[in-house]
Chains A and B, each alone.
Chain A
Amino acid sequence: MIRRRFSILWSGLLTLVLGFTVLWTLFPIYWMLSTSLKENLDVFKLPPDLWPLHPTLINYFNLSNGITPIWTFFINSVITSLGTVVIAVALATFAGYALSRLRFRFRKSILIGVLVTQMFPLVVLLIPLYLFYVRSHLLNTYFGLILAYTSFTLPFGIWMIKGFVDTVPVEIEEAAMVDGCTRLQAMRQIVFPLIIPGVVATAVFAFLDAWNNLLFPLTLVNDVTMKTLPPGMILAFGGEFKHDWGGMMAASTIVTIPVIIGFVLIQRYLVEGLTGGAVKG
């Protein structure tokens, strides 16, 4: 490919833009980590220390020993997020396959319908859902939360999986069926193994989406021991501990770590998948 020659001015501008971008992107994350490792006295110091001069894990220990059961929240988050992943991915795999491969009535309407559900403000669904949960005793249950999370992970998953099945050539499947496979066998033995990376990516997305959600657990859970991390943080830092910045940043770090791990797992896939082939029309 051709490359223009870089003039000094142009290189300078480029460096400036990239430098600003990296600083703007990474500084807040660094600041979160750095603050979480500072003693309380240092957090309130002006001018602030750029890095913790007396690094300590005290904020993390305080979270564990404090009045807010952060590890209970953590476990609740893990259970509900994983539960959501299992249900959403299982259902979405079947539906996504059918929408990609089979011809039937209302196929297009269902596809558009599923897409449009992504546009609703979740808060509108939440009011009837809350009343329904009160009546059917689903408040404060894992199942209730998982079901609620499905309202955004399932439509998303269906479209993702459908997209991945679309990329598998029909001919492979036809060949298998000519050789005597039933459709379901072809789906299980031929298509499914080929879309496993896509299924994994969908699962990670669903996990992160459930993990990050604040609105649903905030309203559908009022028992402290059933809260997930986001409403747990509101509980911990909403009132008198509002200015416990060190503790707050430590909790933020704990919430963020699984997300970063998930991101690293799918990152290559995300960037290259999207920039590589996806949008080339």
Chain B
Amino acid sequence: MYKQNWRAFLVASNLDRVKKAGRAGYQPGASPKIAAMLIAPSLVVMGVIILYPLLNSLWLSLFNYQLTRPDAFAFTLTQNYLRVIHDDTFWIAFKNTTVFTFFTVVISLVLGLIMALAIDQLPKRFTSLRGIILVPWVIPGIVVGYLFMYMFDVEVGIFNYVLQKLHVIQQFLPWLMNGDLAMIAIIVAHVWNQAPFYMLMFTAGLKAIPEDVKEAAYVEGASRWQEFWHVTMPHLKGILVITSLLMVIRNFNNFPIIFTMTGGGPVYTTTTSVIYIYRLAFEQYDMGYASAVGIIWVIVLLILSIFYVRALQKDF
């Protein structure tokens, strides 16, 4: 939504500017009146479109509010939240979200790092390769979803064909019709979509390593592995932490790829939190309960974002 990812770039591009935010840029005697005038329009819009819906969601979560049953409308306080405890689908979605987020983040992280390191080794005239590798990152989620749905198709999908040719599998697998395989398929699609972003972030980190540090390591006779482990990695740590936290938050909220590829199925095997809330709200019209589930996720993500903001302030 992604591409979720554009917003990730904001922080990426501003890492060092964030650092300076507290110090630079002020002018004495600046008028608060001008500031108010410049900021007010944005605050009003965000109030209407973000703050009001958020508070409203919190309020709705206290009601039994089903669009299809106006007669059952009632204030229930904690009932929606208590319902969560016994809601099997909620816990399945919780598990799926965790699995999906964990594997997409870890695999993309490793792939992105390898790509960044490999391209960094190339002579300068080949670095336009980086631009090419970035392309999947800008492909719309819906296209990624449909494209991989096609490639994972049981009959005409190229994955089955290639895997069979390589003798990895004996017969064509029904990727999107089997729970475990479907999860693997959406993770593959998502990694394809996102790994380039990690590559970009790590490249930025690699560029920031001072030449003389690398040179010193070389002169001292460090092996490639030692150089990587003792020089490169410590420099990438900050970026690694920030990027992963950001992407954990982003991937929690992924919608289009899963929605198009499996719609959350078969049964509930790929239903993540966002898909579950969407289905509760816009297919079952159970607005009160959907809001409660949503608020629980907001709280989880807010806790994660506290770590994120902390890491941001500490490292940059």
Contacts and interface: CB of A to CB of B under 8 A. Distances in A.
Nearest 9 pairs between A and B by C-beta? A128-B56, A124-B294, A98-B38, A163-B14, A95-B42, A212-B140, A128-B53, A125-B53, A94-B38
B211 interface: yes
Contacts of B13: 160, 163, 273-274, 278
B6 A22 contact: no
Given A128-B57, A209-B2, A278-B14, A47 B305 contact: no
Interface in A1-55: 1-2, 4, 10, 14, 17-18, 21-22, 24-26, 28-29, 31-32, 35, 43-44, 46-48
Interface string A109-128: 01110111111111111111
B150 A29 contact: no
Interface string A81-113: 000000100011011011111111101101110
Interface string B20-44: 1110111110111011101101110
Given A43-B156, A127-B294, A248-B150, A279 B192 contact: no
B2 A212 contact: yes
B28 to A, nearest CB: 8
Interface in A123-169: 123-132, 147-148, 150-152, 154-156, 158-160, 162-163, 165-167
Contacts of B232: none
Contacts of A70: none
A255 interface: yes
Interface stretch (B75-83, B100-108, B198-206): B198-206
Contact of A152 (B1, B34, B133, B158): B1
B218 to A, nearest CB: 6
Contacts of A25: 132-133, 135-136, 192, 196
B60 interface: yes
B282 interface: yes
Given A26-B132, A94-B39, A278 B25 contact: no
B185 interface: no
Nearest to B41: A91
Interface in A157-187: 158-160, 162-163, 165-167, 170, 173-174, 183-184
B41 A94 contact: yes
Contacts of A277: 16
A219 B282 contact: yes
B148 interface: yes
A13 B141 CA distance: 32
A120 B138 CA distance: 21
A98 B42 CA distance: 11
A14 B122 CA distance: 9
Contacts of B53: 124-129, 132, 151
A239 interface: no
Contacts of A24: 192
Contacts of B143: 32, 252, 255-256
7 contacts: A31-B151, A119-B249, A127-B287, A128-B52, A183-B31, A206-B6, A276-B207
Interface of B: 1-3, 6-7, 9-22, 24-28, 30-32, 34-36, 38-39, 41-43, 45-46, 48-50, 52-54, 56-57, 60, 114-115, 118-119, 121-122, 129-136, 138-143, 146-148, 150-151, 153, 155-156, 158, 161, 192, 196, 200, 203-205, 207-208, 211, 214-215, 218, 224, 239, 249, 252-253, 255-256, 259-260, 273-274, 277-278, 281-282, 287, 290-291, 294-295, 297-298, 301-302, 304-305, 308-309, 316
A245 interface: yes
B260 A234 contact: yes
Contacts of B39: 94-95, 98-99, 110
B32 A279 contact: no
Given A25-B133, A28-B192, A116-B305, A155 B151 contact: no
Nearest to B316: A281
Contacts of B277: 121, 123-124, 127
Given A24-B192, A91-B41, A170-B27, A155 B208 contact: no
Contacts of B27: 101-103, 170, 173-174
Contacts of A119: 249, 301-302, 304-305, 308
A252 B144 CA distance: 9
